[in-house]
Amino acid sequence: MHSNPAKNHSLVGPEAASERTLYPYVTGTSVVAIKYKDGILMAADMGGSYGSTLRYKSVERLKLIGKHSLLGASGEMSDFQEILRNLDELILYDNMWDDGNSLGPKEVHSYLTRMMYNRRNKFDPLWNSLVLGGVKNGQKYLGMVSMIGVNFEDDHVATGFGNHLARPILRDEWHENLTFEEGVKLLEKCMRVLLYRDRSAVNKLQIAKITEVGVTISQPYSLKTFWGYSAFHNPTVGAEGSW
Amino acid sequence: MFRNQYDTDVTTWSPAGRLFQVEYAMEAVKQGSAAIGLRSKTHVVLACVNKANSELSSHQKKIFKVDDHIGVAIAGLTADGRVLSRYMRSECINHSFTYESPLPVGRLVVQLADKAQVCTQRSWKRPFGVGLLVGGLDESGAHLYYNCPSGNYFEYQAFAIGSRSQAAKTYLERRFGNFMDSSREDLIKDALIATRETLQGEKLRSSICTIAVVGVGEAFHILDQETVQQLIDTFELVGEEEPAAEPDAPAEEGGAAEQGGGAAEQGGGADQSAAADEGVAPMEI
Amino acid sequence: MTKQQANWSPYDNNGGSCVAIAGADYCVVAADTRMSTGYNILTRDYSKICKLADKCVMASSGFQADVKALQKLLAARHLIYQHQHNKQMSCPAMGQLLSNTLYYKRFFPYYSFNVLGGLDSEGKGCVFTYDAVGSYERVGYSSQGSGSTLIMPFLDNQLKSPSPLLLPAQDAVTPLSESEAVDLVKTVFASATERDIYTGDKLEIVILNAEGIHREYMELRKD
């Protein structure tokens, strides 16, 4: 039984030698965003999951980038924070020109796409799905980037479970002339469905609004829910062979 | 003969606080054939005089497209101008690759000026011997900049550089008040007249000048020779009341005075430095 | 803590189908506008067709991030070409450039399946068809992407390209008129949409001829 030293590494598994993200640790779940009459609305809950444990309950996942853009993230929260540091620097250097030009949502989205795609090319991905919305010069912008750099624009977008559960609702009910109130209502409808069906969603969310005028990110609040369905009280009744 | 002790090295100061090598590089700009730029709210027009080196050769290209929204006209060492235009082109391409949007003109100009500045502070380098008129369009409208070998840059409503540019400047100074609201056609016309002013009585023909335009809804492009000749023909028919080019010599001197230094006088380097010592350092230009 | 995702892949397949048909004096390039990942539709309106030069367009399916990177790279290369040569790149030149660009990443390929369509220097339609690592061929018509297995045999049956082994070499362009080619493209996409879940939503058709470039759209099934 002469174990060679190299073999000892197998005790901690082959991953010990890796310095890239192999899987996420603290994750945020879906982000949902829509265009509405005057700009963009974005919603995300505040849960931070540690695997399947709901570890953090006040994670802000909607952030303002520069003057014209709003960024929402799902996925690894530490990677999101690195992205934010990176963007802070980008915006700082942009402001330092002090020449009246500033990066709009389109530019930030393109930059983010390069960032995500570059990291995937290094096999060291930033483990996030990002939503970028904004308004500049009367132009509304809403786009998404995935962790491997897949990117697109649309009138409404959603990450993770939102893609399965929220977008069908949005496809049915979204239209170009949604007012702010209608937009919030629509997002809350999506978030409620996600809350019921996505185990990592928590009932504490923020909705952010960005228009030509500026940005407002709401205080955290919760949605009214109804759990009084008989199937919830006694979920297995009538299921044959169960107890 | 008088020899200047302080002009053998770019990084050596004269006691008067001047860098002669840099000033000599600025002289190179004045030796080159003239380049002119002017702008309105929506358009920038660049023009230049093409001088062939010999009867047997063609002239050198002095206006370069940098991107759809930026172009440049140069005076001085054309070879240095080409290097800088290539740099500007690649900066524009890199910017649109990252941000999918055009590089703001002012930022490109600062990057270019920083590049020129480095050459004034390294013992193993030489300043670029070229002046660039950078014209372009961005979010904030049309812009015209002048980039100098010293690393200085200025934004202008209208400007001219190169040999006998003072005549063009005089014309532009008289007219620039109306440029802001000029139509594209009037701007081109003024560019052509300003170009003619530098010709010292020689007839303005499309074969000896190049005109380029960039503006709202119009990507930067160099007008072809026929178009330029047509333009010349039309305005020379109606606009002969324009004063003919003023005699060159006094204009040139006036320009030198305006530029705030005796160094602008034409002649050998030694002459200049001698005269220049009394003047204010012309670094501002 | 349990791993949520044991394995990470740098690739995805975002689906979509592309078709190009060359005629004597035109070229038709078409692709659907659906972008998917797995069983999800990411967006129903994403153009897969990219204009690379005045007489050259590329339709690409596969991994969108790679496709986008490839399109941007070619656009930048084309700008440099224009600065240096003062003209647009010809379609055959772009064809070679695309091949070289793909092969340059032979050992970490762009996961993109391209057809390049355009007009050659004589104004004749040309189609170049590629694999992911750059091997390519000039043909009279081609199809790439998730629906190509359904589309290609149908085109073969309808267009019967002359064997490349024939001597003297036969012209590869199809005998169809421009409008017949556009109709054929509409038919093959409507058919592919029936069976391929990655093809649908909308069809974008780009037609290149002596007049220039123009676009046409046709709705496809959205299910």
CATH number of the domain encompassing residue A73: 3.60.20.10
> Model confidence over B144-178: pLDDT tens digits?
999 999 999 999 999 999 999 999 999 999 999 99
Q: What's the structural domain count of chain A?
A: 1
Local structure of B162: helix, strand or coil: coil
Å from C189 to nearest chain A CA?
A: 23
Residues A16, A27 contacting (CB under 8 angstroms) = no
pTM confidence score: 0.88
Q: Which of A6-10, A94-98, B34-38, B120-124 has the lowest mean pLDDT?
A: A6-10
Per-residue pLDDT reduced to its tens digit, B52-96: 888 899 999 999 999 999 999 999 999 999 999 999 999 999 999
**pLDDT single digits (tens) B219-230:** 999 999 999 999
Between residues B110 and B55, the one the model is more confident about: B110
Classify each residue of A67-99 as buried b or exposed e, where b means 16 or more C-beta atoms within 10 Å of its C-beta. bbbbbbbbbbbbbbeebeeebeebbeebeeeeb
pLDDT at A191 (0 to 100):
98
Hey, CA dihedral for A3, A7, A11, A17, is it positive or negative? positive
Provide the pLDDT confidence category of residue A241 given band limits of 50, 70 and 90.
confident
Query: In the CATH scheme, what is the code of domain B20-239?
Result: 3.60.20.10
Q: What pLDDT shows up at residue C57?
A: 98
Helix (H/G/I), strand (E/B), else coil: A3:
coil
pLDDT of residue A231: 78
Catalytic residue among A21, A27, A29, A113: A21
Whether B212 has a pLDDT exceeding 70, the answer reads: yes
Pick C214 or B278 by higher pLDDT.
C214
Q: Which of residues 43-72 of C touch B (CB under 8 A)?
A: 72
Spatial distance between the Cα atoms of B204 and B185, rounded to a whole number of angstroms: 17
Whether pLDDT at B240 is above 80: no
User: Which of A97, A107, A114 is facing B101, going by the closest CB pair?
Assistant: A107
Task: Give the class (CATH, top level) of C17-220.
Answer: alpha beta
Q: Give percent of chain B with pLDDT exceeding 90.
A: 76
| Location of structure tokens 């409008």 | C179
Q: A 29-68 residues with CB below 8 A of C? A: 50-52
Q: What residue in A sits closest to C8 (Cα-Cα)?
A: A22
For residue C168, the model assigns a pLDDT of: 84
CB C52 within 8 A of CB C40: no
Gap from C56 CA to chain A (nearest CA, Å): 24
Q: By the 8 A CB rule, do A40 and A88 touch?
A: no
**HSE value, Cβ hemisphere, 13 Å, CA-based, for B266:** 17
pLDDT interval class at B274 (50, 70, 90): very low
pLDDT in tens, C182-201: 999 999 999 999 999 999 99
Is residue B285 predicted with pLDDT exceeding 60? no
Q: How confident is the model at residue A232 (pLDDT cuts 50, 70, 90)?
A: confident
Q: Which of residues 76-105 of B touch A (CB under 8 A)?
A: 97-101, 104
Find the closest chain B residue to C69 by CA distance: B97
Q: Is the pLDDT of residue B260 over 60?
A: no
Residue C158 burial class via C-beta count within 10 angstroms: exposed 0-12, middle 13-18, buried 19 and up: middle
Q: Measure B138 CA to nearest chain A CA, in Å.
A: 9
Task: Tell me, yes or no, if A21 is annotated catalytic.
Answer: yes
Q: Taking each helix axis as running N to C, give the angle between helix C64-85 and helix B78-99, from 0 to 180 degrees, rounded to the nearest 10.
A: 160
Tell me which of C47, C68, C73, C104 to substitute to probe the interface with A (most A C-beta atoms closer than 10 Å): C68
Cβ distance B93 to C72 less than 8 Å, yes or no, reads no
pLDDT at position B54 is: 87
Domain span holding position A135: 31-150+180-224
Give domain limits for chain C. Answer: 17-220
- For residues B113 and B106, what is the distance between their CA atoms, to the nearest angstrom? 10
| pLDDT at site B142 | 97
pLDDT at A13: 57
CB contact under 8 A, A106 and B140: no
Q: What are phi and psi of C184, to 5 degrees?
A: -60, -45
Give me the DSSP letters along A46-98: --EEETTEEEES----EEEETTTEEEEEEEEHHHHHHHHHHHHHHHHHHHHH-
Chains with ≥3 CB–CB distances under 8 Å to A: B, C
Question: Is the minimum CB–CB distance between A120 and chain C shorter than 8 Å?
Answer: yes
Q: What is the pLDDT averaged over residues C35-49?
A: 97
Per the structure block, which two tokens stand in for C143?
């199809």
Q: Which residue has the higher pLDDT, B30 or B251?
A: B30
Mean pLDDT computed over every residue of chain A: 92
Judged against a pLDDT cut of 50, whether residue C87 lies above it is answered with: yes
Q: Which of B83, B97, B99 is most worth mutating to test chain C (most C CB atoms within 10 A of its CB)?
A: B97
Q: Write out chain A residues lying below 8 Å of B100, CB-based.
A: 106-107, 110
Per-residue pLDDT, A15: 61
Helices (H) and strands (E) in chain B, counts: 8, 10
Give residue B249's pLDDT band: very low, low, confident or very high (50, 70, 90). Answer: very low
Q: What mean pLDDT is predicted for residues A124-140? A: 97
Q: Scanning the structure block, which residue is given the tokens 């540019």?
A: B165
pLDDT for res C164: 78
- In sequence order, the β-bridge partners of residue B130 are B76
Which residues have CB under 8 Å from A187's CB, separation 6+?
Answer: A32, A34, A41, A42, A43, A207
Size of interface B-C (CB pairs under 8 A): 11
Answer with the residue of higher pLDDT: A19 or A144: A144
Point out the residue among C3, C10, C68 whose CB comes nearest to the CB of A151.
C68
Residues of A in contact with B101 (CB under 8 A): 104, 106-107, 110
pLDDT attached to residue C169: 80
pLDDT interval class at A234 (50, 70, 90)? confident
Confidence class for position A14, pLDDT limits 50, 70, 90: low
Q: What is the pLDDT of residue A63?
A: 98
Cβ distance A104 to B101 less than 8 Å, yes or no, reads: yes
Evaluate if residue A47 carries a pLDDT over 90. yes
Give ipTM to 2 decimals.
Answer: 0.92
Name the amino acid, one letter, at C38: G
Kindly indicate the confidence band of residue B266, based on its pLDDT and cuts at 50, 70 and 90: very low
Whether B266 contacts B252, CB under 8 Å: yes
For the segment B120-141, the average pLDDT, to the nearest whole number, is 96
User: For tokens 């080619």, what's the residue?
Assistant: C181
Q: Is the pLDDT of residue C80 over 70?
A: yes
- Inspect the interface and report whether the beta carbons of A110 and B140 lie closer than 8 Å: no
pLDDT at B236: 76
From A107's Cα to the closest Cα of chain B, the distance in A is 5
* Statement: residue B255 has pLDDT above 60: no
Residue A191 token pair: 């978030």
Looking at every residue in chain B, the average pLDDT score rounds to 86
Cβ-defined contact of B106 to A111 (cutoff 8 Å): no
- Tens of pLDDT, residue by residue over A148-186, are 999 999 999 999 999 999 999 999 999 999 999 999 999
Instruction: Say what the pLDDT of residue B269 is.
Output: 41
Q: Out of A65-74, B100-109, B231-240, which region has the weakest mean confidence (pLDDT)?
A: B231-240
For chain B, the structural domain boundaries read 20-239
C83: nearest CB among B89, B96, B97: B89
Distance from CA of B11 to the nearest CA of C (A): 35
DSSP code string of chain C:
---S-S---S------EEEEEE-SSEEEEEEE--EEETTEEEES----EEEEETTEEEEEEE-HHHHHHHHHHHHHHHHHHHHHHSSPPPHHHHHHHHHHHHHHTTTS---EEEEEEEE-TTS-EEEEEE-TTS-EEEESEEEEETTHHHHHHHHHHHH-PPPTT-SSPPP-S-S--HHHHHHHHHHHHHHHHHH-TTS-SEEEEEEEETTEEEEEEEE----
- Going from the C-alpha of C201 to that of each of B89, C75, C192, C196, the distances in angstroms are 39, 27, 12, 12
Nearest CA in chain C to A20: C8
Classified as helix, coil or strand, B177 is helix
Residues on chain C touching B93 (C-beta within 8 angstroms): 76, 79-80
Q: How far apart are CA A54 and CA A50, in angstroms?
A: 6
Residue C19 has pLDDT above 60, yes or no: yes
pLDDT in tens, C5-16: 568 899 999 999
pLDDT score for B245: 45
What is the model's pLDDT at position C58?
A: 98
Q: How many CA atoms lie within 13 A of C98 on its CB side?
A: 35
Chain A residues in contact with C105 by the CB 8 A cut-off are: none
Token digits of residue B106:
């002012």
Asked if A150 lies within 8 A of C40 by C-beta distance, the reply is no
Q: Please judge whether A114 and B100 are an interchain contact, meaning their C-beta atoms are less than 8 angstroms apart.
A: no
Nearest-5° Cα angle at C121, C119 to C122: 85
